[in-house]
């Protein structure tokens, strides 16, 4: 670090609000893309597993292996094929969400009591109506719990993509801060990424309680 460089320069933050905002926006965009794509893939995989239970080990096992590969190594494996790009970053980020999301979607759907399913069948619901109107609403809290873990993990991992030329707030931490010997940028990036993780978690929890008003009513009466 250059001698005399203070740990924090408030004036830099004020002068560079646009740059900071842009990186924050990138970070949100990369996280949202990974979680949404990861959720769509996981949802399809979970429905597939429910149709053929024999696939459970194969799907969960593969997702488990992907999850165990260190993030920087997974990026490195992909670079020879997809280059130093947004796509490389997103493929890796999406793969890390699969294990958590598939497992929680399955857990959620399996948590629906058999009597409820029977009641729905007795009311003449088709399989599709039963899934969307009965099973998913009941599974929602467990599914959202998975989404929360996946989102918080992804917010942390997006920073690492700074090492392959992406990174959102990770760009401030690594490129501007560490490589540029400029602590202020590192602190801004690190603190904002923690704040973003906390905010995303609270947002999802809020969305869940909005989508499942009955669970709020129940906790209010008891």
Partner 1 sequence: MTLIDEVAAWLSDPAHWTGPDGMLPRLLEHLELSGFCMALAIVIALPIGLWIGHTGRGAALAIRAANIGQALPTLGVIGIVWPLTANIEPYGFDLIPSVVALTALAIPPIVTNTFAGLRQVDPEAIEAGRGMGMRELQLLRLVEVPLALPSILAGLRISAVQVVATATLAAVLGAGGLGRLIIDGIAQQDDAQLFVGALLVAVLAIATELGFAALQRVAASPGLRARPARESAADA
CB 113 → partner 1: shortest distance, Å? 29
Instruction: Kindly compute the dihedral angle of the four CA atoms of residues 129, 100, 188, 90, in this order, to the nearest 10 degrees.
Output: -80
Q: Nearest distance from residue 158's CB to partner 1, in Å?
A: 9
* Distance from C-alpha of 37 to C-alpha of 94, rounded to nearest angstrom: 7
Radius of gyration of the chain (CA): 21
Residues in contact with partner 1, total (CB under 8 A)? 37
Give the nearer residue to partner 1 in terms of CB position, either 14 or 68: 68
- What are the tokens at 41? 């893939």
The correct pick among 155, 166, 171, 200 for binding partner 1 (CB under 8 A) is: 155
The reply on whether position 58 binds partner 1 by CB under 8 A is no
106 binds partner 1 (CB under 8 A): no
Contact track, partner 1, 175-194, x by CB under 8 A: --xx----x--xx-xx--xx
Q: Using CB under 8 A, pick the residue from 4, 7, 10, 213 that binds partner 1.
A: 7
> Which of 173, 200, 204, 208 is in the footprint of partner 1 by CB under 8 A?
173
When asked if residue 159 is in the footprint of partner 1 (CB under 8 A), the reply is yes
- Return left, alpha or beta for 5; rule: phi > 0 is left, psi -120 to 50 is alpha, else beta: beta
Report the residue number, 21 or 83, with the smaller CB distance to partner 1: 83
How many other β-carbons are positioned within 10 Å of the β-carbon of residue 84?
15
CA distances from 12 to 1, 53, 148, 168, 183 (A): 17, 56, 33, 18, 11
3-state helix/strand/coil string of 125-193: CCHHHHHHHHHHHHHHHHHHHHHHHHHHHHHHHHHHHHHHCCCCHHHHHHHHHHCCCCHHHHHHHHHHH
> Which residue in the set 10, 70, 113, 124 belongs to the binding site for partner 1 (CB under 8 A)?
70
Residue ranges that bind partner 1, judged by CB under 8 A: 1, 7, 68-77, 79-80, 84, 152, 155-157, 159-160, 162-164, 170, 173-174, 177-178, 183, 186-187, 189-190, 193-194, 197
């Amino acid at each position: 670090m250059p001698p005399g460089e203070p740990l924090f320069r408030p004036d830099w933050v004020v002068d560079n609000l646009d740059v900071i905002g842009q990186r924050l926006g990138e970070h949100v965009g990369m996280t949202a893309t990974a979680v949404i794509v990861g959720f769509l893939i996981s949802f399809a995989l979970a429905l597939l597993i429910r149709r053929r239970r024999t696939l459970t080990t194969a799907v969960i096992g593969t997702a488990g292996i992907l999850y165990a590969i260190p993030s920087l190594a997974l990026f490195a494996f992909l670079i020879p094929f997809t280059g130093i790009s947004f796509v490389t970053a997103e493929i890796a980020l999406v793969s890390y969400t699969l294990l958590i999301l598939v497992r929680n979607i399955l857990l959620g759907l399996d948590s629906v009591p058999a009597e409820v399913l029977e009641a729905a069948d007795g009311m003449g619901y088709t399989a599709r109506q039963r899934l969307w109107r009965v099973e998913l609403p009941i599974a929602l809290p467990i599914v959202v719990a998975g989404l929360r873990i996946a989102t918080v993990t992804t917010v942390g991992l997006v920073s690492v993509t700074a090492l392959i030329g992406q990174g959102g707030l990770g760009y401030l931490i690594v490129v501007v801060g560490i490589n540029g010997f400029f602590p202020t940028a590192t602190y801004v990036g690190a603190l904002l990424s923690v704040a973003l993780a906390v905010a995303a978690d609270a947002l999802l929890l809020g969305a869940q309680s909005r989508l499942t008003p009955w669970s709020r009513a129940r906790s209010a009466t008891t």
